[in-house]
Structure 1
């Protein structure tokens, strides 16, 4: 039986509730764990899937709990779990598997709805082409070893929008396909209220109409099947 662990990395769930965002689409039996509260899954307890969510924290100046989560990630990969990291979780996945030299502050934050190009077909991310998705990140993944990681997607300002660990059901995605326009506006408004940097970019995103190509449908469908050796 499949069982999902959601590693919830949010700091302010009143503005950003990634567990509910992801489990709306990935309908597996699940248990959520809040890193900020010191909660982490016992991966020997029957878990088959692991999601690493985004966070308001920065991977280049990480909270103390990141060290423990890195251990969880490495164990999950070694045990053959299906793993998906989004935004901060995407970066944390690379931190765990490649080291701190492969994450950095982004030259240009991506806040709002962005166009992403899928460079090559992938069972999780779908066919080659361009699509729109919500994004909110100040940090990014960089300089991946392409013998180990397959770079699947990019955007104008981020060269590693999505990757797969070769030979395994382990993926990272920089954007937030799970966040619909209403939840995106709630997050952006909360970021303004908490004086996040780049307020001009946040306000611009809030004033725009949300463009969402529904990428989450492809991602959630295939991730749920990952234990079937897709």
Structure 2
């Protein structure tokens, strides 16, 4: 049985402060980090038990070589039945690749902060989202958004400002999470301070964010459950 996870890093740093590569490794997966942002992709998807897609400063709708290549990889992986989980930009590019590039758009205003998301009843039967409960708390920060009305998207959670915070593609093993359940309270302090200029530009009060940071443990069950799914 394969235990290999393809970790597509879509940001300007090979790994983020959240060190999700280490979290997945602790779950028992052999993590193969590829710096997609720098054009680093595997030659083949053979042998991968799952794929994780990270955040990025880019938009999924941009005509950028690595983004175009990632669209192709996502469609190939879905055709092979490989489980996929995307966070933030990863959520958006999954929607773009599988449901059309018109599914991702630029918001008029940034949604940023720790939010309570309303969880749809369908989540209780979902292998990744089942442990979130009726509401789930996590940090969100996005200027781009995935539309909620596509018939191939099963929306599993919403916020007051964004009707598609978590979705599943059809009944496939493909999930997108707009927010950031991966970030711990300790990591948030470092990330928020390091990102202070961008957060303030997007309307956040950084010191308030740092005080309100939480472990978001129920939200993290999605990461754990996805890893378990890849190991089945």
Fold shared by both chains (TM-score > 0.5): yes
Q: Quick one: structure 1 residues 215 and 197, their matched pair in 2 at CA, closer, same or farther if it must change by over 3 Å? A: same
CA distance in 1 between counterparts of 2:5 and 2:37 reads: 19
One of 134, 141, 147 as aligned partner of 2:146: 141
1:110 is aligned to 2:111: yes
Indicate the SS of the match to 1:76: helix
CA distance in 1 between counterparts of 2:184 and 2:145 reads: 22
Q: Quick one: structure 1 residues 108 and 83, their matched pair in 2 at CA, closer, same or farther if it must change by over 3 Å? A: same
Q: Look up the match of 2:101.
A: 100
CA contact (8 A) 2:7 2:21 kept: no
| TM-score, with structure 1 as normaliser | 0.86
Indicate the SS of the match to 1:158: coil
Q: Look up the match of 2:190.
A: 186
CA distance in 1 between counterparts of 2:93 and 2:159 reads: 20
CA distance in 2 between counterparts of 1:51 and 1:149 reads: 18
CA distance in 1 between counterparts of 2:47 and 2:149 reads: 31
One of 137, 155, 163 as aligned partner of 1:132: 137
| TM-score, with structure 2 as normaliser | 0.86
Q: How big is the shift at 1:10?
A: 1.4
Q: How big is the shift at 1:196?
A: 5.8
Q: Look up the match of 1:83.
A: 84
Give the unaligned 5+ runs of structure 1: none
Indicate the SS of the match to 2:98: helix
- The number of equivalent residue pairs is 227
1:163 is aligned to 2:164: no
Q: Could you give the per-residue CA deviations for residues 121-162 of structure 1, whole angstroms, max 9, x where no partner exists?
A: 22211254112112221111004423x221111011110011
Greater Cα offset, 62-71 or 88-97: 62-71
Indicate the SS of the match to 1:77: helix
Q: Quick one: structure 1 residues 192 and 221, their matched pair in 2 at CA, closer, same or farther if it must change by over 3 Å? A: closer
CA distance in 1 between counterparts of 2:116 and 2:171 reads: 28
CA distance in 1 between counterparts of 2:26 and 2:110 reads: 27
CA distance in 1 between counterparts of 2:128 and 2:147 reads: 21
Q: Look up the match of 1:224.
A: 227
Q: How big is the shift at 1:172?
A: 0.7
Q: Look up the match of 2:70.
A: 69
Q: How big is the shift at 1:117?
A: 1.5
Kindly report the root-mean-square deviation, in angstroms, between the aligned alpha carbons of the 2 structures. 2.5
